[in-house]
Structure 1
Amino acid sequence: MSVTLRQLQYFVALAETLQFGAAAEKVHVSQPALSLQIKAMEEALGARLVDRLPREVRLTRVGQEVLDRARRVLTEVGDLEQSVRWRDGLAGRLRLGVIPTVAPYLLPMALTRLRARDITLDIRIREAQTTTLVTGLRDGRLDAAIMALPLQDPGLTARPLFRDRFLLCGSPARLDSLGQGAEGLRPQAIAQDQLLLLDEGHCLADQALEVCGLRSRPNVDLGASSLATLAGLVAQGFGLTFLPELAVATELRAQPDLALRRFDAPEPGRDLALVTRSAAEGAGWVDTLAGILIDAGGAALALARDATLRKP
């Protein structure tokens, strides 16, 4: 009896969740069916892959080795399927991941352009933090993802899209209190106790700490999970935060009292990229998708600049 791809998929799901019930739900099968396939896989390999504990499972040493190989096999199979599926270019089904601080601002324009190009394109969106998207790309559950650089994964390739600059936002009174120093507005001049950031895990929060020269998060931790929440708080005078230019037009419409100031050059920002598995590098569909995203990003940034200029 040979190990099947289905068994490899079930085993990887079990290794990631460490619970039979959660793993079964993840791969859309019943728990007994998944348990049976894992047992059959162990019999085929002649080794125990997991220790079954009362409330969870734990990978054995052999199980850890098999997990690494299983992921590689599934990635290779995914690349094979992808090369066939995309032989006619950007068509069929696109599984696209996007980080949360980009999704609500770029996707409306990007999806409109994708639909205009091919109304039959089946687009599946996954909004998640960077670590989750990287795992999805490696495991073949995503075809591509939009995230911020830098990217440190040898199995993935980044196609640069555009630079998204940061603006300082808060209430008019709080921004006026900063004054205008001789060197202009610098991120390093923002007091740590005034800075509000997103939850840990959001790359935007890490980038904000870096540009401010801070090694730790501020003492005030509101647990905000979205830029919209932060914009609403600072508009009412609760501190200051960084707002990516991509989000400016949307958040100004939602928060008319929000005030904005640009930093002096060199302006801080983030570089957004389209990330795929390295096997897709040079594929025509990647260039097509990147071109559409660059165009959509340019339109979104133009709206942001216009909204900033019209802001009294």
Structure 2
Amino acid sequence: MRPTLRQLEYIVAVADTGQVGLAAEQLNVSQPSLSSQLAEVEADLGVTLFQRGRKGAKVTPVGEEVVRRARQILHEIQDLRASAQGGGIFHGRLRLGVLPSIGPYLLPGVVRRLHKEHPHFRLIVREESTRDLDEGLRSGRLDMIISTPEDHPGAQKTHLFTERLWAAMAQDHPLADLPATLSLADLAGQTFLTLGAGHRLSHVVAGMAAGAGGRVSDEYEGTSLDAIRLMAAMGAGIAILPNIYAATEAQRGTDVSLHFLSDDAAAREIVLVQPQLPEPRPGSEILADILRSEAQKILAQGRKP
């Protein structure tokens, strides 16, 4: 039956590396052998999968769909083997995508626990924007992602936790002396600072700004939570920070005044997302439980004052 699983591995390797020679090296086969196998697949399918040139091998439009399906088939085979061994995802490798507003603050504790409880489990983490996470999940580049649910229609989602949002402002900001808990009405007319448009958080903050009668800064678009916190500390506006971040990073320093936001709109849901299959990947609920547990430890530090 063609293409064979080995040929599918060749296709994915070339797509990932962009070079036939490098793919052959990674797979421990000769370059002529790999090239011959690719040509055989293209002949069998009647399509061109890669445009080869001096700069490497570029996936063609029809090749992108073949690569996507090849990834899915290889993942299914990995899941089948893991399920037969009784260990689910914990007897293999998981490529996990995560929002940069969560990953650096939640995952260190999660990774330590996974290494302790599942020493054979290999976790590969990629921090990307909401848009890129969705693309990675759809293309098969990522196995699961930790994200917000709104931007991943058709995928399977497992609730992890709901994260409250905080307002951070300069220590000498006129609102800094207000109580530790604020409402959006208290932020009327203020300039809000947030991440770029590719992040779901930016849409949440835009809705909050509209509800408060404020505006999202068009002079500065942050690339990280640290960046928008620093801009708030310098008086450029009010940074809206997720609770996980506020509890692990922002509260360590004294460069901003932190205020809990009491409004229902000042929150976001975080979920574990995986492709829609008849059943979740074996072991995914165990991973979800570990993520929830570690998140609750952090969130307990940053509860409402």
| Secondary structure in 2 matching 1:199 | coil
2:130, 2:147 within 8 Å by CA — same for their partners in 1? Answer: yes
Gaps of 5+ in 1: none
CA–CA distance in 2 between the matches of 1:108 and 1:152? Answer: 25
Give the TM-score, by structure 2 length: 0.78
Out of 194, 198, 204, the position equivalent to 2:195 is 198
Structure 1 match to 2:161? 162
Aligned to 2:124: 124
Q: 1:163·1:271 contact (CA, 8 Å) conserved in 2?
A: yes
* SS of equivalent to 1:272: strand
- The answer (yes or no) to whether the contact 2:89–2:281 under 8 Å persists in 1 is no
What's the C-alpha RMSD, in Å, of the aligned pairs? 3.8
8 Å Cα contact 1:164/1:271 also seen in 2: yes
Which structure 2 residues correspond to residues 55-204 of structure 1 after superposition, within 5 A? 64-65=61-62, 67-86=64-83, 87-89=86-88, 91-95=90-94, 96-154=96-154, 156-174=155-173, 176=175, 184-186=183-185, 189-191=188-190, 194-204=191-201
Retained in 1: the 8 A contact 2:134–2:152? no
Give 1:175 shift: 5.2
TM-score between the two structures when normalised by the length of structure 1 = 0.76
* C-alpha distance in 2 between matches for 1:170 and 1:232: 9
> Contact 1:187 / 1:211 at 8 angstroms: preserved in 2?
no
Distance 2:248 2:43 in 1: 56
Q: Is the 8 A contact 1:245 1:301 kept in 2?
A: yes
Deviation at 1:158, TM superposition (A): 0.7
Partner of 1:285: 283
- The letter of the residue matching 2:172 is A
C-alpha distance after superposition, 1:175-233 (max 9, x if no partner): 527969xx943487353xx222223322222321233239x9632125x3211122122
- Which residue number in structure 2 is paired with residue 210 of structure 1? 207
Question: Residues of 1 paired with 2:166 and 2:129: CA distance?
Answer: 22
**Alpha-carbon distance in structure 2 between the residues aligned to 1:202 and 1:70:** 26
Residue 8 of structure 1, CA deviation: 4.4
Equivalent position amino acid for 2:224 in 1: S
Query: How many residues were matched structurally?
Result: 296
Is it true that 1:42 corresponds to 2:42 in the alignment?
A: yes
1:89·1:284 contact (CA, 8 Å) conserved in 2?
yes
Cα 1:122–1:261, aligned 2, differ >3 Å: closer, same or farther? same
Amino-acid identity (%): 26
Amino acid at match of 1:235: A
